[in-house]
């Protein structure tokens, strides 16, 4: 009984606490024009889109863009300022662009309490339940993690391009309809892909500027890896999730993958 109550309790508090983890966002400009260089800000923090640190884009494993023609290109690193890393590219045509990055994997060690709190905060209840079943909640953890945020945005008035096409990131949130043709009050259908395959049961959250550490809402992807995200207000918003596996590597037992999808909801 105690174990079942604990899981129910965790489900109840996950909505309030999920945003305390540090996400990584690619924040695109609201508008952009041909003939000018486009900059996308790379921000790490826990209050979207406020940065707690400015990552160095030159250290990323990959920086990939997709043109409206579907042609892939490498996005340049443009250094960083006091609050964000900077990505830069010169658009060749008007339309819808996608930018995604992959960070290099890092390993960290956490104590039992911190690791358990992290599992709760990020909706990784399957891992928490597994540790509870194995009676290992009192043990610390070695974890490898990497992040693969993405942004989609439109340059000019032309809406050529496919925002529903994956960028082949390790973990990726992919819209199944054009978000720039949606309006406030609609629900955006998305799918979650992990290593190119649909991921069922992923715990997604969404956020808007000004929400602070309180995430706006959460939902769980169905058996087909699909979910509906409400578009409650116009302007910038992000969708996020964390997925974890257990490879039992010699250097780490757990491996987590983080992603966000950031875009502007039309007014």
At 140-169, the pLDDT tens digits run 999 999 999 999 999 988 889 999 999 999
User: What does the angle CA 52 – CA 53 – CA 58 come to, to the nearest 5 degrees?
Assistant: 155
Checking if the pLDDT of 34 tops 90, the result is no
Tens digits of residue pLDDT in 44-85: 998 899 877 899 999 999 999 999 999 999 999 999 998 999
Q: Which residues pair with 87 in a beta bridge?
A: 40, 77
Task: Tell me the pLDDT of the chain averaged across its residues.
Answer: 90
Checking if the pLDDT of 18 tops 60, the result is no
Share of the chain above pLDDT 90, in %: 78
**pLDDT for res 201:** 94
Domain 18-105+142-265 belongs to what topology?
Answer: Immunoglobulin-like (2.60.40)
Q: What mean pLDDT is predicted for residues 104-115? A: 96
pTM of the predicted model, to two decimals? Answer: 0.90
**pLDDT for res 267:** 87
**Structure-token pair, residue 168:** 């082949």
Share of the chain above pLDDT 70, in %: 92
CB atoms within 10 A of CB 26: 29
Tens digits of residue pLDDT in 176-189: 999 999 999 999 99
Checking if the pLDDT of 194 tops 70, the result is yes
β-pairing, 85-89 vs 76-80, is antiparallel
Tens digits of residue pLDDT in 222-250: 999 999 999 999 999 999 999 999 998 99
**Alpha carbons 135 and 137: distance in angstroms, whole number:** 6
Q: What mean pLDDT is predicted for residues 111-132? A: 94
Q: Are 28 and 151 in contact (CB under 8 A)?
A: yes
**pLDDT for res 35:** 82
Q: Are 254 and 142 in contact (CB under 8 A)?
A: yes
**pLDDT for res 20:** 39
**Alpha carbons 261 and 191: distance in angstroms, whole number:** 11
- Residue 121: pLDDT band with limits 50, 70, 90: confident
């Amino acid at each position: 009984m105690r174990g079942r109550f604990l899981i129910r309790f965790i489900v109840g508090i996950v909505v309030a606490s999920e945003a305390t983890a540090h996400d990584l966002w690619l924040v695109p400009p609201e508008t952009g024009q041909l003939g000018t260089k486009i900059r996308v800000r790379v921000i790490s923090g826990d209050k979207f889109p406020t940065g707690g640190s400015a990552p160095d884009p030159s250290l990323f494993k990959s920086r990939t863009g997709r043109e409206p023609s579907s042609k892939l290109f490498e996005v340049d690193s443009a250094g960083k300022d006091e609050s964000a890393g900077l990505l830069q590219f010169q658009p060749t045509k008007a339309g819808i662009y996608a930018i995604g990055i992959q960070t290099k994997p890092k390993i960290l060690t956490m104590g039992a309490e911190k690791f358990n709190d992290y599992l709760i905060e990020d909706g990784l209840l399957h891992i928490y339940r597994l540790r509870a079943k194995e009676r290992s909640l009192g043990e610390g953890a070695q974890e490898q993690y990497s992040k693969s945020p993405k942004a989609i945005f439109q340059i000019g008035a032309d809406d050529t391009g496919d925002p529903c096409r994956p960028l082949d990131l390790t973990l990726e949130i992919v819209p199944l309809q054009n978000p720039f043709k949606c309006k406030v009050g609609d629900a955006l259908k998305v799918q979650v892909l992990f290593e190119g395959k649909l991921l069922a049961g992923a715990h997604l959250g969404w956020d808007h500027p000004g929400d602070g550490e309180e995430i706006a809402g959460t939902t769980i992807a169905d058996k087909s890896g699909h979910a509906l995200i409400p578009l409650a207000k116009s302007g910038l918003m992000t969708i996020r999730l964390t997925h974890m596996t257990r490879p039992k590597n010699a250097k780490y037992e757990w491996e987590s993958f983080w992603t966000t999808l950031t875009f502007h909801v039309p007014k």
